[in-house]
Structure 1
Amino acid sequence: MLKPGTPCPDFEIPHHLDGVAKLNDYKGKILILAFHPFSFTGG
């Protein structure tokens, strides 16, 4: 867990179009990360 004001470390995730998306790809842009645990799982 990061504390408020702590920069997020770079990471990469699979991209829905192909390849991977890296956090650094969005440097200087507004980015919203939303996590939805249990969404779309039927649980």
Structure 2
Amino acid sequence: GVRFGASGIPQSLIDDLEARVYLTLAAPWFYKTATRRAGLVIDLRQT
């Protein structure tokens, strides 16, 4: 579900959790964090 955002999560699960808005908002951020932790993203911004 993380790779495809909220669209990758089965609709029945979202409906049962009654958390559609939260999952829709959280999935892209969770994916970004997961890929960074896995070392799949190189951040080119200078800090």
Q: State TM-score, norm by structure 1.
A: 0.21
Task: Give TM-score scaled by structure 2 length.
Answer: 0.21
Greater per-residue helix proportion: 2
Greater relative contact order (CA < 8 Å, ≥ 6 in sequence): 2
